[in-house]
Amino acid sequence: MKVGFIGLGNVGFKLASSLLETGFDISIYDLERSTAKPLEDAGAKWVNSPKEIADSSNICITCLPSPKAVSEVLEGEEGLLQGLSAGKLWVEMSTTDSNEMSRLSDLVLNKGAFALEAPVSGGCHRASTGNIAILAGGSREAFEMALPALKAIGHEILHVGELGSASILKVVTNYLASTHLVALGEALMVCKKSGLDLPTVFKGIKISSGNSFVHETESQVIMNGSYNINFTMDLVCKDVGLFDQLTKDKKIPAEISPLLKDIFQDGRNRFGDRAWSSMIVKRLEEACETNLRAEGFPAELVDTTPRREGHEIK
């Protein structure tokens, strides 16, 4: 099985590395060839366009920063669609718009190829070790075709349903994570202003009903002061924007979503597109003239769990 991988950003590079480390024959492409050098040195083959990826691969994977980038990679003059043919499979692993995913999938299916969405969740530290979770949407046939590669990339893999369903669920999970990130900033500031010891607070939240994946990960880099969660402000703005649009499309009178969208847009305006998303709590730190620093927390998260065999969650 030959796999082509397009998009070697913070997450994509790690996913492609997992495929290479588990023995897959992979070709790679990115706008910046310099990002691919470590993979080339390890045995991956560089090609010069998305079309060449499709020409040389059975499975073509994209992991890109926005729906616009995905459409450009597929529909460009040297795009994937120019090289896809009957029986091949396109797997989209970005967090994207479900309507755009459906539109592009129709173009792929019309060529006799297969399409599957498979966004990942769990953070870059888990992507590095192959322990990230994968949500898949598409036909069962397409899912079965992709499963060997998905098992190399992630640990827990859930077939959500038809095309579009996994994109919606991924946007929902990112919305929930972003909501808890903002709430955590307020919670930690209340504790700090009340004179509580933040390392003790971290432990207390972790063993309580207030715990979450976001607390166990992002609270650590916030209290370290690096804020380095390997996820940027422009991406979280995209994700909360996608969720907010879903509430409008479904005529849901959401109250938290519009506020969250405004909060992160303000953070983006203040700190820039490429600021780490966890810097959103810096708005509150500046307003309170109080930082949330504490000793004993890492500058960057590391997954200490050994790579585990990927499997489908039933």
Q: What is the pLDDT of residues 74-109, one digit of tens each?
A: 999 999 999 999 999 999 999 888 999 999 999 999
How many CB atoms within 10 Å of residue 135? Answer: 27
Backbone φ and ψ for 260, nearest 5 degrees, come out as -60, -40
How far apart CA 42 and CA 64 sit, in angstroms, is: 22
User: Are the beta carbons of 249 and 183 closer than 8 angstroms?
Assistant: no
Predicted local distance difference test score (pLDDT) of residue 4: 98
Q: Is the pLDDT of residue 38 over 90?
A: yes
E strand segments, the chain: 2-6, 25-29, 45-46, 59-62, 89-92, 114-117, 120-121, 132-137, 154-161, 311-312
In terms of pTM, does the model score above 0.75?
yes
Give the confidence band of 1 by pLDDT, cuts at 50, 70, 90: confident
Predicted confidence band at 70 (pLDDT cuts at 50, 70, 90)?
A: very high
Bridge-partner residues for 45, per DSSP? Answer: 27
Residue type for position 125: H
Give all domains of the chain, ordered by start, each with its CATH number.
Answer: 2-163 (3.40.50.720), 168-288 (1.10.1040.10)
Instruction: Give me 239's structure tokens.
Output: 């994700």
* Residue 208 banded pLDDT, cuts 50, 70, 90: very high
Instruction: Residue 249: count other Cβ atoms within 10 Å of its Cβ.
Output: 10
pLDDT in tens, 230-271: 999 999 999 999 999 999 999 999 999 999 999 999 999 999
pLDDT (mean) for 60-76? 95
Q: What is the pLDDT of residues 133-178, one digit of tens each?
A: 999 999 999 999 999 999 999 999 999 999 999 999 999 999 999 9
Residue that is written with structure tokens 């992991």 in the block: 63
pLDDT at 233: 98
Tokens of 256: 């938290």
- Torsion, Cα 138 139 144 148, to 10 degrees, reads -20
Query: Given this model, what pLDDT does residue 139 score?
Result: 97
**pLDDT for res 96:** 87
Band (pLDDT 50/70/90 cuts) for residue 37 is very high
**Hunting for tokens 């998303």 — which residue is that?**
277
